[in-house]
Amino acid sequence: MRATLMYEAGDVRVEDVPDSVIKEPTDALVRITASCICGSDLWPYGSMPAADDPVRMGHEFIGIVEDTGSEVSTVKRGDLVVAPFAISDNTCVFCREGLHTSCGNPHAGFWDGMPEEGGQAEATRVPLADGTLVKLPVAADSALMPSLLTLSDVFGTGHHAAVAGGVNQRTSVTVIGDGAVGLLGVLSARLLGAEQIILMGRHQARTDLGRDFGATDVVSARGAEGIEAVRDLTGGHGTHVVLECVGAMPAYEQAVGIVRPGGVISRVGVPQYEQAPVGFDSLFGRNIRLAGGPAPTRAYIEKLMPAILEGTIDPGRVFDATTDLGGVPAGYQDMADRKTLKVLVKS
């Protein structure tokens, strides 16, 4: 079968690999029908050292169950399923609290880092299939496929940012980043009732989509100028919640500058730093809270799916390009060049 491998920064190839097979009684084998390239895939695409072994790519996919291990009971051959970007048993103490990314099962973990499986491929083995996979009540050729695919990561991640930030009808919100997660952070903040949603981004096609999703204001300036612009829009105070959907240090610093005293910076962009300012002058003095982390998207799939099925929201609009598996390497480059926002891969 064919699958996507990253060899080093800038070098992504689709190659023949050994067929995925069932290994554990809790596994399912899934023939992938739709996957995509993630903004977080661009971090190693920009920095992976050549010395490392190639890694399998892809952690967002929909597919058809082809086979199941003896202990799998919630999905069966022929089911159309969506997989979140973290593998979990959905039964441990952390999963029951909705924190599937901290699942305590020894087979749990992230697709990224699994040695021989991944979503940008023809098929994959899915560990802990009962906990991980969620059945979709549509056909594989449904027009809703792009929106349903966002449940695996970007919609759930934007939603997690808003939930972890405590967004509600009484909070003003700034979203830093006009990538797919940022835009779906806007949509999530609107669904949670926020009235003022300021989107910080400088790519007009994206910020226009952000306005469609519910942004009330767009700030294209960055740094000190961007902070000033947000303060001007909020009576000088900043917003109650800042959704930091980038992960770079300048975005963090921007968040510190625009969050209101007593407010929350909710991070879902994977931090490209370990140390950051959190002392008296940045967070402590103003009682700013820091929240967020890898989104337990599994916890949100059943909650977010009905509005997609009803057609009242269309998060799949973040996909502005579609390719097949052979087009994945070019898809990476287009996303890195910001020619495309997010690439859907039809297998």
User: Which residues contact a copy of itself (rule: CB under 8 A)?
Assistant: 93-94, 97, 99, 101-102, 164, 237, 261-262, 267, 270-271, 273-294, 296
In terms of CB distance, is 259 or 344 closer to a copy of itself?
A: 259
In terms of CB distance, is 101 or 124 closer to a copy of itself?
A: 101
In terms of CB distance, is 33 or 101 closer to a copy of itself?
A: 101
Minimum CB–partner distance for residue 35 and a copy of itself (Å): 24
Query: 3-state DSSP call for residue 135?
Result: strand
Minimum CB–partner distance for residue 94 and a copy of itself (Å): 6
Q: How far apart are CA 281 and CA 286, in angstroms?
A: 8
Give 35-84 as a DSSP string.
EE--GGGHHHHHH--TTSPPEE----EEEEEEEE-TT--S--TT-EEEE-
In terms of CB distance, is 285 or 311 closer to a copy of itself?
A: 285
Q: CA geometry: angle at 207 spanning 45 and 300, to 5°?
A: 70
In terms of CB distance, is 227 or 288 closer to a copy of itself?
A: 288
In terms of CB distance, is 211 or 289 closer to a copy of itself?
A: 289
- List the one residue out of 87, 37, 33 whose CA is nearest residue 63: 33
Minimum CB–partner distance for residue 209 and a copy of itself (Å): 27
One-letter amino acid for residue 244 of the chain: E
DSSP-derived letter for residue 25 is T
Minimum CB–partner distance for residue 14 and a copy of itself (Å): 28
Minimum CB–partner distance for residue 249 and a copy of itself (Å): 10
Minimum CB–partner distance for residue 285 and a copy of itself (Å): 6
Minimum CB–partner distance for residue 279 and a copy of itself (Å): 4
Q: How far apart are CA 131 and CA 244, in angstroms?
A: 29
Could you give phi then psi for residue 208, rounded to 5 degrees? -65, -45
Query: With contact defined as beta carbons under 8 Å apart, do 340 and 206 qualify?
Result: no
Partners of residue 96 on adjacent β-strands: none
Q: How far apart are CA 37 and CA 191, in angstroms?
A: 25
One-letter amino acid for residue 331 of the chain: G
In terms of CB distance, is 248 or 330 closer to a copy of itself?
A: 248
One-letter amino acid for residue 188 of the chain: S
Give the sign of the dihedral formed by CA 11, CA 2, CA 297, CA 128: negative
